[in-house]
Amino acid sequence: MNLTKRLLYSAVLATLLAGIFSCAGGPKARWVVLYAFADEGQLLRTRMTEVSYVPWAGRAIATGYLEGESVILAGSGIGTTNAAITLQYVLDHYPVRGVLFTGICGGIAERNKIGDIVIPERWITHDFGYIGAQGFLPDSLGIGRRGDSVFIPAFDLPVDSQLFDWVGQAAYKAAEDLQPIVDRIVQIHCGGVGVTGNQFIDQVEKRQWLAATFDAEITDMESAAVLQTAIANGVPCVIIRSNSDLAGGSGSATASTELRDFFQIAADNSAAVVTSFFRMLHERRFEHP
């Protein structure tokens, strides 16, 4: 067999093996969708097909298809450590195309009302820093990235720019599917800063401090840790949140009361954007800049 025929034979064989490997369930990169509370993943679970469950360390991890795209849907539990551990486990066991985190949050900026969709462009860990005579001073985190030999200081972390653009498009496409809060049509806000810490904020003074110190749009308890983990592994990541409460409450209602009253609407609105993203991705309907 001459060289040309050998090369052609090798190419054909490689193609056939690749097809067989794929059909046999070989490693195929999936999208990861994370959420913290079980009810935040409820709507997405009901819309998945060909679902298989993989229990791990108290977490519900499901593989299957959402709007025709191969996904891993995983409940992380609440807090930065739980969220980071969950994502790292998934990244260690599956090939991953990208990460979306979905769920509720507390509003910080005046424009962000209950039910609104907020997709920040950058995230900060608000409770990392130094406490001294002048009180608490926020500081930069040491960020390690794949291929780095040292930690690099970073005060804020950017989400993936391409996913940020696509999820923004998906949010506006899903606008008609978003549930109103009483009679108010919810709004979509893209950009700005989100802040994360291991604290549920139900104090007006703390909300005002977060706004003044970080110019924050929203606050939660997982997103910055998920984003840091994704960046360390070289995986694209974006965060989708919906306000279930105003951090510190509004009027006579506390944030805890608002969370109880509006949790599921906010969670489902965020999930609706995720569903819209995968529908548009599957139909190749995203506009490229």
> Mapped to the 3 state alphabet, what secondary structure does 11-70 carry?
HHHHHHHHHHHHHCCCCCCEEEEEECCHHHCHHHHHHEEEEEEEEECCEEEEEEEECCEE
Amino acid identity at 48: M
- Which tokens go with 135? 């009180």
* Cβ(21)–Cβ(89) below 8 Å: no
Domain that holds residue 41: 30-282
**Strand pairing of 216-220 and 193-196?**
parallel
CATH number of the domain encompassing residue 249: 3.40.50.1580
What band does 260 get if pLDDT is binned at 50, 70 and 90?
confident
pLDDT in tens, 212-240: 999 999 999 999 999 999 999 999 999 99
The 8-class DSSP code of residue 203 comes to -
Least confident of 22-36, 63-77, 84-98: 22-36
Q: Is residue 115 part of a domain?
A: yes
Q: What local confidence, expressed as pLDDT, does residue 83 receive?
A: 98
Q: Is residue 11 part of a domain?
A: no
Q: Is residue 94 part of a domain?
A: yes
Q: Is residue 14 part of a domain?
A: no
* Cβ(195)–Cβ(124) below 8 Å: yes
* Cβ(153)–Cβ(273) below 8 Å: no
DSSP character string of 218-287: EEESSHHHHHHHHHHTT--EEEEEEEEEETT-BTTB-HHHHHHHHHHHHHHHHHHHHHHHHHHHHTT-PP
Q: Is residue 57 part of a domain?
A: yes
Q: Is residue 7 part of a domain?
A: no
| For the chain, percent of residues with pLDDT exceeding 90 | 77
pLDDT in tens, 137-178: 999 999 998 888 899 999 999 999 999 999 999 999 999 999
Cα distances from 47 to residues 2, 94, 218, in angstroms, run 53, 22, 28
Per-residue pLDDT, averaged over 105-112, amounts to 94
Q: Is residue 181 part of a domain?
A: yes
Q: What local confidence, expressed as pLDDT, does residue 289 receive?
A: 56
- Number of domains forming the structure of the chain: 1
Q: Is residue 16 part of a domain?
A: no
